[in-house]
Structure 1
């Protein structure tokens, strides 16, 4: 998200409309009226004023008047003498009489005896038999276009040094029909597909037939962000998910608890008599909308709906979210989605004049067909969305595929971007943002990236100050193979370290990948219950600048791996490989990995040599990825992850020291709890069969850094608990500000409350304790009672910081036990 956001903020085109109007609606005292209804006379095209009473409305048709209304005020008709009418100030007078057609309510609306609520109840009753759900099977054409634009362009921006030499891009600017702001299109992506579904089996598949991008078409970071940003939604669902947050739908069964509803009007739309209902939130700072919808009087199917996120909603970096949906009347009982439009205004500030980036998605649906039954196998055989032919469709294909024609602005994006790419200054800006986003410096003539620049410096007790530099091959984002490596140097131990990896995609369809590499470095083991097989990784524990307590339990590791991986079924990966590692303490005086070794002259060995065969099954239902090279990019993060891992240690092979087996299983699941936020849960269990020393045991993951790290225990020291049999649970719930939004003096800060609960149980056999008896740290497991911690956190501090207050629940009599600790993190999130 950061890479795209910064990139688009650098660059600022046009939308021709017949009628435009904007201004403010106030009462007789001059106070702004929020949520007033503004429509073009004799039409259903309208909008609602924002929290400050301001509005902007635009139409391709020609109109000569506006009709402005609000509950408790006289409806006012405003003439429009010109095609463009800005800075209107519309004064509404208090109503002397109530309208005869409808009952009018003011302020907080009652949930009882409210005609709008009664209509809402009938929508709930009918929603499961409306639309596609009425048929056994269905199919339709789907055309989607997504565009990004720089907005709020003024003369100061155009004349700024940033755009010196790029003035030509501002040649033809126009205004958004939603906000009235000028904008410059920068990115456009079109996708045409056919969708098939069967309600009996509850299955659906989408065959992508064409995909075309302008601008940064090869940038999968942008494409993945776009796909995650504009995921599909259904307005009839109780909650609509945008930006990883659940907004209460105005059609939700819980809507009466968070919205006020008012029946405003009724009229014919496409020969169907419809009621007009206005809704707005009961409270500020909650994840809600304001807007209106038209609903048919017999089927109670929604004909048209507008949704606009309130400015007070607890969401970062997004100033506006506006949604329009129009439904087609097929017959007296079937209303189908015809057009879906969503606009998002991304900005650092929610102030009216702040600059930002528009993200716009338009989806058009057509050629619906029903009850054309297909065998179940048809749905199991999907098309290849990365087939090169999909990206090479000619102009004739797109002329027929576009269910909505490109306007003049959209057609100009392709030419504009081709021109921009020839301008050195533009390429300089692009390269700077590319480095900030990826962490790599591209050297195109060598097809090499230098980095990761964010790993250049580190500090730990064994190495002191550490510097690191690396590089990777990079021909493109879908490379079938990749080589990557790094070198590092510690100024205290005066030693060089290195890591090298190679990956080769053998078969694209089955995702057959062969990988391997070697790493000789210093590492903090025990940060994860699963032994590291990453030959390039570097944990935050061994390179953090600040730590809690004595962070001196570091290990020397020399690791070599060779793995084969494949994905025989979507989201189901199978990996088998071998690894050979040599482990020893990096600071023997403070931390020992010694164990009893009868074959050693001294009876004790301080170095472990171990060869393992590892088999892993990973299932990630619901995961979406983009790309088809050896490395792919995740699109979403709301999927569950199930991992089954079996490790077999061999004694004697390559001088390996121990024969053992280990079985591990973990299950991670994010839960969207409606309007109550997001819960992340992880359960992990494991057992080691056979005697092994400390370096091969399962360490309950402690955390002596000042960073909040999920799946670790922030009040445990490294190696405080060591097990050969274990079970852990981690629960973390983010309420997304639902509690703080009800506290008046906290409401405006948009803080978010986070609670966590963690537990671990484990045991350690006498045999393993005896084997590691020479070590200079006590070996203990939480066997008598479950070790547990809890935390209370505050997130979204200045929109980037999070602080967690961590409390230890028991084992307070352990040496140097930390009963309380504070950790934190920072980052950009919505």
Structure 2
């Protein structure tokens, strides 16, 4: 080679080589779950065999720049199979990962000589809780964006071969494309977004969420007013600084609970910067796989020992039904006061398939919070309604231009396709048919058009010894008929007694701000003495079941009732009612109309009553979902429900036969005892001031069916005991696997132990006893009631197993007092079907 050319060639080669080797490699991408399609935060993405790497943010995104990479990129995270991809050096490129879950046994924590170094971190976390917990703030508020998606997943080949699924094959083809190159196909059925303002204040503890905008698209969702309130951020909030977190109505122990060492093993894995905060990463695992505890990782700041971010899982080993997995991810930031508030939350609930031929379901929740304001509380009256839907909330729900400005982050292309797919599904005729069938099964009514519904189907047909076969169809109006008025009615006929029955009602909502309604109801029907349909409330199956079987003390009645109720202030409701009723027994019944002269007293059997009822009800932290013409209670959180009722019977008003006064007080409270489970206590006390026929006194609610119900005394017959002064207490406790989880041969069955205790302490005054006709003629068969003694309460104790094959509960009840008599049931076995998680 020419001596002049050689140096030029060498110089040119070095320049090219140095340019090539010095070219920066820029890689960006997203890491998602192959099953759910959700982004995975906190994933380690690095060049294989090097320390050059980064971690994905809360939305699964990463960005990596380097001048000296190798050609293999590795993505790895606890609970997932690691994944590698080949990259091209020296250019900018996008590399996405879809990671599959790895089914492994819980990691074994090996502690060498000396104390586990994670323990000191945990002790400091607990000591600093009072400084970092958001509950220390006197008030806070922020803007929040919520997104919820529900999908069908785990669609097996047999599931796809079903006739219904074959009819939507075209949609399923689109699902394959949405899943991505490595993802599993999912079928979206519901997606919603909402933008709201959330306010909280302490002392008194109050929360208020105002939903400003909402966008709903899903199968079977029409009006969506109630759904919009259910999907607000108020129901997607979890605070790990609490010792126990209530998730799907179960109590889970936090990994930073005060008693953390009793429930978890820990491993101090790493220390690293997360944003601007230097953090310790701790992995944790439940000591017992069946316990309601988490597996996961958390990042604790070195400065202040605050929870910076956390990623927890509840696996199929936990004592839960129908749940494959629950995953919660949370990222927090400090406020000006020092307490930390969540800025992003992601929750995934994976519902397992019920059979090998069915599919599963995914529910995905995401919230983003910003614009925090702390320690500036409003007046208490500001928080009166826990959830309020702005009148304009759904005005712009289909305007994508508006929603692009409202979202905290833009929708991904996959999420935009979800909206299109749901619109396609809703227009398939067979989907509309199946949606209607499901609504009938859940609601009990079948829609005829949009304004009228037929039902309820549990009342359609029944059989008992007095009526024989009984049919009773009915109807009710919907919100489309009127947003203020509701009308309904039923007409029935018994083929043995050959009597018609009916029930008609009307209800008007006068105010939704301070919930105010009035209603009128008139009915003529057959009742069962000892069964109070008002006491069992909305238990439709129990109401329908009491129409069946043998009526020992049946009676016909006509009733007209007018009710007015108003919420005077948050949690306090006042009700006024006027009630007229007649009583016509279908059994031999009599009372002395003049007990002072029994020999000459006429004996009455039929009578009428006219009553005025005043009722005050206080439930301090009760949460309601409020629609245009109805309100649904979700129960209270910490405080009991207290009810005081006064009843005044007025003689000679509308033909009434009696003058009397009654006073009743009731108490109801749920209990959450952490590892000991949950329970519910109901207590009632009543005093009747004047002597009355026993059919107007306190008839303790018995149960002559084989179906267990916590509302009744299960070994007491209908109308067996009557009192005019009494106190009752009923307690039902769910141990949630506390005992059976510790038994090696039983814990795989996931059975749960339950216990019950029922008591009545009361009596009947001598004056009321004097009204009872003595049965001197055996052929008359007048049935006097049993009487309790103040010296001896009626007591039932029970124990049982629930969650048998996930659906069944069996209770064994012992009656401990009032055991005399040949027909007394001293012991009983009761069963029921229940759907619990």
Q: TM-score range by the shorter chain?
A: 0.7 to 0.9
CA contact (8 A) 1:593 1:695 kept: no
Match for residue 793 of structure 2? 786
**Aligned residue number for residue 163 of structure 1:** 165
Give the superposition deviation at 1:541: 6.0
Cα pair distance change 1:459/1:201, threshold 3 Å? closer
C-alpha deviation, 1:567, in angstroms: 1.7
In the alignment, which residue of structure 1 is the partner of 2:557? 557
How has the CA–CA distance of structure 1 residues 489 and 201 changed in structure 2, closer, same or farther, with 3 Å as cutoff?
closer
Structure 1 partner of 2:495: 491
Residues 417-446 of structure 1: per-residue CA shift (max 9 Å, x gap): 33433332221121111111111110006x
Unaligned runs of 5+ in 2: 1-27, 36-41, 47-52, 65-71, 88-94, 775-781
Q: Structure 2 CA distance, aligned partners of 1:167 and 1:362? A: 29
Would you say the 8 A contact 1:523–1:556 is kept in 2? yes
| Aligned counterpart, 1:43 | 54
Render the CA deviation track for 1:377-420: whole Å, top value 9, x for unaligned.
Answer: 57447698233212224655533331122222333344433343
Paired residue for 2:208?
Answer: 205
Distance 1:19 1:499, change over 3 A: closer
Equivalent residue pairs, number: 767
> How many Å separate the matches in 2 of 1:244 and 1:535?
19
C-alpha distance after superposition, 1:524-564 (max 9, x if no partner): 1323497899999983563235xxxx751222121111111
Q: Deviations over 1:325-353 (max 9, x none)?
A: 112366896643211000001234498x9
State the alpha-carbon separation in 1 of the partners of residues 673 and 101 from structure 2: 43
Q: Is the 8 A contact 1:285 1:741 kept in 2?
A: yes
Partner of 1:596 in structure 2?
Answer: 593
Name 1:191's counterpart in structure 2.
194
Q: Secondary structure at the match of 2:566?
A: strand
Determine if contact 1:462/1:587 at 8 Å carries over to the other structure: no
Counterpart in the other structure of 2:367: 363
User: Residues 306 and 825 (structure 1 numbering): CA distance in 2 closer, same or farther, change over 3 Å?
Assistant: same
Give 1:494 deviation, angstroms: 2.2
Instruction: Mark the runs of 5 or more structure 1 residues left unpaired by the alignment.
Output: 1-15, 24-36, 48-56, 93-104
The Cα shift of 1:759 comes to 0.8
d(CA) in 2 for partners of 1:635, 1:612: 31
Please give the secondary structure, in 2, of the residue aligned with 1:339: strand
> What is the alpha-carbon distance in structure 2 between the residues aligned to residue 800 and residue 435 of structure 1?
21
Out of 111, 115, 124, which is 2:126 matched to? 124
- Quick check: 703-712 or 325-334, which moved more? 325-334
Which of 147, 150, 153 is equivalent to 2:152?
A: 150
Counterpart of 2:831? 824
Query: Does structure 2 conserve the Cα–Cα contact (< 8 Å) formed by 1:40 and 1:46?
Result: no
Alignment partners' CA distance in 2, 1:43 and 1:817: 74
Question: Equivalent residue for 2:716?
Answer: 716
Q: Is the Cα contact below 8 Å between 1:138 and 1:370 reproduced in 2? A: yes
Equivalent in 289, 298, 321 of residue 316 of structure 1 = 321
- Note the alpha carbon deviations across 1:574-613, whole angstroms, 9 max, x for none: 111111111122233xxx2544358999711110211111
- Spell out the pairing of 1:445-464 with structure 2 (5 A cutoff): 447-464=451-468
TM-score by length of 2: 0.83
> Do 2:140 and 2:201's aligned partners in 1 also have CA atoms closer than 8 Å?
yes
Structure 2 SS opposite 1:214: strand
2:720·2:786 contact (CA, 8 Å) conserved in 1?
A: yes
Find the aligned partners of 1:364 and 1:204 in 2 and give their Cα distance.
Answer: 18
Corresponding residue for residue 50 of structure 1: none
Is the counterpart of residue 813 in structure 1 residue 825 in structure 2? no
Q: Is the 8 A contact 1:477 1:629 kept in 2?
A: no
SS at match of 2:393: helix
* Structure 2 equivalent of residue 611 of structure 1: 610
**Whole-Å separation in 2 of the counterparts to 1:200 and 1:475:** 38
- For 1:337-736, list aligned pairs within 5 A: 337-349=342-354, 355-371=359-375, 373-376=376-379, 379-380=382-383, 385-393=388-396, 395=400, 397-444=402-449, 447-476=451-480, 479-528=483-532, 539-540=543-544, 542-545=546-549, 551-588=551-588, 592-596=589-593, 603-636=602-635, 640-736=640-736
Output the CA distance in 2 between the equivalents of 1:315 and 1:477. 41
RMSD between aligned residues? 3.7
Q: CA deviation at 1:186?
A: 2.1
Alignment of 1:173-184 (within 5 A): 173=176, 180-184=183-187
Does the CA-based 8 Å contact 1:322-1:342 persist in structure 2?
Answer: yes
Question: Relative contact order, CA 8 A, sep 6+: which one is greater?
Answer: 1
Equivalent residues of 1:480, 1:629 under 8 A apart: yes
Deviation at 1:65, TM superposition (A): 0.8
Of structures 1 and 2, the larger Rg is shown by: 2
In structure 2, distance between residues paired with 1:536 and 1:293? 45
Change (3 A) 1:88 1:703: closer
Give the aligned partner of residue 282 of structure 1. Answer: 287
Contact 1:575 1:616 in 2 (8 A): yes
Instruction: Specify which of 256, 259, 262 is matched with residue 254 of structure 1.
Output: 259
Q: 1:434-462 CA distances to partner (integer Å, 9 max, x unpaired)? A: 111111110006x2111111222222222
Conserved? CA contact 2:138–2:377, under 8 Å? no
Say if 1:39 and 1:704 are closer, same or farther in 2 by CA, change over 3 A: same
1:776 counterpart = 2:783? yes
Answer whether contact 1:191 1:208 (CA < 8 A) is retained. yes
Deviation at 1:39, TM superposition (A): 3.8
Q: What per-residue deviation string (whole Å, max 9, x for no partner) do you get for residues 230-288 of structure 1?
A: 44220111111111100111111222112111111111221322111111111121111
Q: 1:530 to 1:465 in 2, by over 3 A?
A: closer
Q: Is the 8 A contact 1:669 1:682 kept in 2?
A: yes
Contact 1:249 1:255 (C-alpha < 8 Å) held by counterparts = yes
Tell which deviates more after alignment, 332-341 or 497-506: 332-341
Following superposition, the deviation at residue 655 of structure 1 comes to: 1.2
| Other structure's SS at 1:119 match | helix
Distance 1:367 1:691, change over 3 A: same
- In structure 2, distance between residues paired with 1:667 and 1:440: 33
TM superposition shift of 1:691 = 1.6
